[in-house]
Amino acid sequence: MRPLNPTSHSSRRGRGLRVSGIAVALMALVLAAPVALAQEAEQGATPDATPPPTPVPEAKSLQELLEIVRQGWRDEKKENQQREAEFRQAKADQEKLLANAKAVQAREEARSEELERTFTENETRLAETEATLTERLGSLGELFGVVRQVAGDAAGIVDGSLISAEIPGREEFLAELGKSKALPSIELLTDLWYELQREMTEQGKVVRFTAPVLTLEGGSEERQVIRAGVFSAISNGEYLLWDPVNQRLTELARQPPSKYLSTVAPFEKLTEGMGRLAVDPGRGSLLSVLIDTRTLTERIPEGGYVGYTIIALGAIAAVLAIVRWFMVFVASRKVAAQQKSDKADPGNPLGRVLGVYEANRDVDPETLELKLDEAVMRESSKLERFIWLVKVVSVVAPLLGLLGTVTGMIRTFQAITLFGAGDPKMMAGGISEALVTTMLGLMIAIPLVLLHALLASSTKRIIEILDEQSAGLIARQAERSGAGV
């Protein structure tokens, strides 16, 4: 809407007034113009549809002001007449559109009645036709239902069967027969029986054939494949997996453990007779489980820093225990050889103890006993060096495993607190850490306990020999001193 022209209001108010009253009317117009503009804005005039107001020329006298007011009134009257003409034209167009819409509605209503009448006739005819079909089928209706059910079930079995890698395209015929609404012919029933019989027969065969194999790189290559019934397919010394969605054999991202994989290569070399092959009676399900099962080395990272700490301590203690055991074993052999020799050899503990005795033959028994005890203690400390570390690690390893168990359970309870117990995978990380660290602690502790026991017994046996020989030397010295006295 165009803003009201202040001069038009002044012309209506000043119409019939004397020149002396024009000034009063202009002042009232100035006060009323903002109110009129505000009311027009409240009625919904948009800035985009409203043209900018025409600037009012400045009047230099009352006569010129009066002319300006009159001119504004004439412009407004002309504009109103133009709007009335546009409204009348729009009304005529709307009446024409309304008439056209009513004509279209009448045609569509007539067409709807015709379609409804046709639909009712078709429904009646369909019911009569179905009744006639049911009457004519008789007992064959049950046979027809059984054939459709058997064909549908067979289509599902054939679609996921490993035999389809060798004989493709069978599921299309079975699926069409299972969905067909026509009475099956004798030829179709014969084909259905043949497919069922062929599926049963092929399940008991071991066959070599050539088929495309989807590689891990995404390509496809022709390979010679050995199919063991419907259980396993092997090629190039590896197991293959049947993909029922893409209807092709695929390479496994990871092969099963070696105790199963080791049977593949010898079986491929057989040309006759019987062979040993690990098969999957679950038709791929057990193979998928074996592939997803992680080994011990793959589970070690689940133990976190605690697990790595246990492994590091265990490795250090094991290496130290093996080195010490080798040294004790060599010392034991040398001590055994020294027992059979009359000459003291300083290269073994017993020889060094005998060397102390030889160097102190002239001293009294009490002094000799002290010197020999000192020599035995010195040799004992060398033999028992670092054995305590093996024992400490064997005790600390289970405690570290228990620490990992506690931290893993804390993580599990945090996951339960945050996400609830609805998703077991959210708790699997903490439980894995708890169990893996405990397992690592026990795996490290048990061998170390055995090694420590072996080291302690070997060392003790050598020390007992040193003590025995030392006591004998002291007794001999005492007898010699008594005889001299």
Q: What is the pLDDT along the chain (485 residues), one digit of tens a residue?
A: 334 344 444 443 343 333 334 443 444 443 343 433 334 444 444 444 455 555 656 767 777 778 888 888 888 888 888 888 888 888 888 888 888 888 899 899 999 999 999 999 999 999 988 888 777 666 666 777 788 888 888 888 888 888 888 888 888 888 888 888 777 888 888 988 998 898 899 888 888 988 888 888 888 888 889 888 888 888 888 888 888 888 888 888 888 877 888 888 888 888 888 888 888 887 777 777 777 666 667 677 777 788 888 889 989 999 998 998 898 888 888 888 888 877 777 888 888 888 888 888 778 888 888 888 888 888 888 888 888 888 899 899 989 888 888 887 877 777 777 776 666 666 666 677 778 888 888 999 999 999 999 888 888 888 888 888 888 888 887 887 765 54
Residues 155 and 302: their CA atoms lie apart, in Å, by 44
Own/partner pairs, 472-477, CB within 8 angstroms, 24+ separation: 473/353, 473/354, 473/357, 473/368, 473/372, 474/365, 474/368, 474/369, 474/372, 477/357, 477/361, 477/363, 477/364, 477/365, 477/368
Kindly give, in sequence order, each residue whose CB lies less than 8 Å from that of residue 347, ignoring residues fewer than 6 positions away: 334
Q: How far is CA 122 from CA 108, 109, 127, in A?
A: 21, 20, 8
Residues 304 and 435: their CA atoms lie apart, in Å, by 12
Torsion region of 232: left, alpha or beta (phi above 0 gives left; psi -120 to 50 gives alpha):
beta
Q: How many CB atoms lie within 10 A of CB 433?
A: 24
Residues 219 and 212: their CA atoms lie apart, in Å, by 10
pLDDT value for 123: 92
Q: Do strands 206-214 and 248-251 pair parallel, antiparallel, or not at all (unpaired)?
A: parallel
User: Both ends of the chain: CA-CA distance in Å?
Assistant: 148
pLDDT value for 118: 93
Would you say how long the chain is, in residues? 485
> 304-339 vs 387-419: helix axis angle to the nearest 10?
160
Of 171, 179, 192, give the one whose Cα is nearest residue 148: 179
Residues 4 and 33 sit within 8 Å (Cβ to Cβ): yes
Tokens in use for 356?
């102390």
pLDDT value for 52: 59
Of 189, 206, 187, 204, give the one whose Cα is nearest residue 154: 189
Tokens in use for 421?
């117990």
Residues 235 and 223 sit within 8 Å (Cβ to Cβ): yes
Question: Torsions phi, psi of 316, nearest 5?
Answer: -60, -45
Residues 363 and 149: their CA atoms lie apart, in Å, by 110
Tokens in use for 86?
């546009």
Kindly give, in sequence order, each residue whose CB lies less than 8 Å from that of residue 26, ignoring residues fewer than 6 positions away: 10, 14, 65
